[in-house]
Amino acid sequence: AGAQMTVKLASLAPDGSIWDLATEEMGADWATATDGRVRLRIYPGGVAGDEPDVVRKMRIGQLQAASLTVGGLTEIDDAFRIFGVPLFFASYDELFHVLDALSPELERRLEAKGYVLLNWAHAGWVHLFSSRPVKTIDELKRSKLFVAAGDDSTVQWWKQNGYRPVALATTDILTGLQTGMVESLPSPPLAALLLQWYRQAPYMLDIGIAPLVGATLVQSRVWDRISAEDRAALLASAGRLGEKLEREVPEQDGEAVREMQARGLEVVAVPASEEARFRAAAEEFAERVRGERLPPEILNQALAARGAYRARQGAAAGGAEP
């Protein structure tokens, strides 16, 4: 401890986006809080590669930290697949409650793989965008659904549940939509706006598919070389950053939807009866992928936490009624 160190951090967040700006702010914080003993060098916008590449570079010791989303986190531990189960979470509030319950176990798993969790950095909520309106679960099953190529088990999840996943590179989405090779894709609204996907897929399903959970990690072997005092300061700064994103990201997604609506996006409302069918299909989906590279104990824990939250909400709502 006491020596100077540079922590190299990579992320997919575009240069200048709120995530990137927040990370830069954290870097400035870190330098001040530790009198320059810990400096952050940021590689934004995927210059260090896609998330699996970033994780690989952390393993070989080129990078020491990263802000990852579900894709990169599942490269480290399968438990993070829980955040990829469609329609598992109904709202941010529900997500935060389940996350609180799961955090100790997830942090333990990360520690076992040699990482320390600095914060949860939320990246938005994934919605379904489609080239034709998708209102029912049957229409969704008939639609050719984009799935990011590379992680074959996610592709298999969708197949097992009777959907038509088409594995493509993210760069091929626009062409895929234009040519009809894919007809629908899950995406956070901001990404759909920035990458212009909404122009070819101008219908957005009103139900959020899944949160795009992100986390900032640092390698334990680097972390352990920092003095306890400095570590506390760094963690506090990272925590502030996470809270800030927790507030700003949902607002930003809302703005993105309004912006796209002004340019022709149609938000497809789903009748309550059909929403129930969507939720039921999702429950089945979660059960069917139990054990398929999704650790059962994580699913059980998440179900229990979610059940408790829903019961409380139900009771609160019930109590409020006359």
Is the CB of 49 or the CB of 250 nearer to other proteins? 49
Is the CB of 82 or the CB of 173 nearer to other proteins? 173
Question: Binding residue for other proteins (CB under 8 A) from 4, 179, 227, 300?
Answer: 179
Query: Per rule CB under 8 A, is residue 240 in the interface with other proteins?
Result: no
Query: Per rule CB under 5 A, is residue 20 in the interface with Na ion?
Result: yes
Contact at 8 Å (CB) between 252 and 113?
A: no
DSSP string, 144-184: EEEEETT-HHHHHHHHHTT-EEEEE-GGGHHHHHHHTS--E
- 196: tokens are 């212009």
Query: Per rule CB under 8 A, is residue 132 in the interface with other proteins?
Result: no
- Select the binding partner of residue 48 from other proteins, Na ion, none (C-beta < 5 to 8 A, by kind): other proteins
DSSP string, 56-116: HHHHHTS-SEEEEEHHHHHHH-GGGGGGGSTT---SHHHHHHHHHHHHHHHHHHHHHTTEE
Query: Per rule CB under 8 A, is residue 57 in the interface with other proteins?
Result: yes
Cross-strand bridge partners of residue 128: 186
By CB atoms closer than 10 A (0-12, 13-18, 19+), residue 39 is middle
Is the CB of 140 or the CB of 257 nearer to other proteins? 140
Query: Per rule CB under 8 A, is residue 175 in the interface with other proteins?
Result: yes
Q: How far is the CB of 17 from Na ion (least distance, A)?
A: 8
The residue ranges that bind Na ion (CB under 5 A) are: 15, 20
The residue ranges that bind other proteins (CB under 8 A) are: 8, 15, 41, 43, 47-49, 52-53, 55-57, 59-62, 75, 149-150, 152, 155-156, 159, 164-169, 171-172, 174-176, 178-181, 221
